[in-house]
Amino acid sequence: MAIVLQPALVGCSGKRQAVRPPVSSPRQEQHEQPGIDAGVASDIVGEARRWLGTPYKYGGDRRRHGTDCSGMVMVIFRDKAGVSLPRNSARQQQACEKIRREQLAPGDLVFFRPSTRGGGVSHVGIYVGDGDFIHASSSKGVMVSNLSQKYYDTHFHSAGRVKGIALARQKRDRRQEIDVVTVPVQAVQEHPGNTVSIPRLPAPRIPADVPAVTLDSLLRMHPAPADRVVPAIRHEVEEAEEQRRRAQCELDSIIMYLEM
């Protein structure tokens, strides 16, 4: 007679079984579900794998010193997606958009209950694909388990997609991307109507201690009677000052856009 022992799920605990068949087909996982961003998901999964082997510590949330399940999830989503999640697994589940198990994609969260008879959420993990998820077990620390394992299959509570993850990606990309804009070439008169592509880079702020080039500052550097200043030079200096003022306004507008 064979005796089967099953681990009890307490807090962030869980033991891994030997069999690990996938719960979804590769075709399903390659299809990006609405609301999940592949770039952010990749960052989340990559960071979660860096936590593998971290010892379990109740109330912890540090990769080198120890963590529990919800602490790890909170820190990874904060650092890699810019999303603030609650500190415990039950509230993290409430903060997610509920999805079906077959809709799981890398970067989603999986939640478990302590009893097969029901009950609330007591454990959370990060889904990484092929039925695998990374979580902090109270007995083995941060590890990879599979949803098809009997224990996790019977204690499965729900799956969730973190709200705002796509928005977080867009906000981060606004600060990092170098896109191309097309502007008319007005200076080349022999080829009217031509355009040129220039990169739009994050605009640096002009240091406050950099003085503006004004007519008065030039006169202070090179003292001379004002009536000896050639009118054409006066006009060029004033025009340069006006261009600098306009450039500062444009820089301020770009910075305001990037910070939205």
Say what the pLDDT of residue 224 is. Answer: 52
Say what the pLDDT of residue 105 is. Answer: 95
Which of 12, 31, 96, 123 is the catalytic position? 123
Which of 12, 31, 65, 135 is the catalytic position? 135
d(CA 11, CA 21): 25
Q: What is the pTM of this model?
A: 0.56
Say what the pLDDT of residue 232 is. Answer: 59
Let me know if 135 is a catalytic residue: yes
Say what the pLDDT of residue 196 is. Answer: 45
Say what the pLDDT of residue 197 is. Answer: 46
Q: Sign of dihedral through CA atoms 218, 220, 222, 228? A: positive
Q: Which CATH superfamily is domain 26-170 in?
A: endopeptidase domain like (from Nostoc punctiforme) (3.90.1720.10)
- Domain locations in the chain as residue ranges: 26-170, 178-258
Give me the average pLDDT of each 10-residue run along the chain (260 residues). Answer: 45 44 41 66 96 97 96 96 94 96 96 88 97 96 97 96 71 50 42 48 50 56 54 70 74 64
Say what the pLDDT of residue 72 is. Answer: 98
Which of 12, 69, 96, 155 is the catalytic position? 69
CB-based contacts of 3-8 (< 8 A; 24+ apart in sequence): 6/150, 6/151, 7/139, 7/151, 8/114
d(CA 223, CA 236): 18
Say what the pLDDT of residue 213 is. Answer: 54
Let me know if 69 is a catalytic residue: yes
Say what the pLDDT of residue 244 is. Answer: 76
Say what the pLDDT of residue 165 is. Answer: 73
Q: Please report the beta strands in the chain, taking only residues with DSSP state E, as ranges in sequence order.
A: 61-62, 66-67, 96-99, 109-112, 123-129, 132-137, 141-146, 156-162, 179-184, 195-200
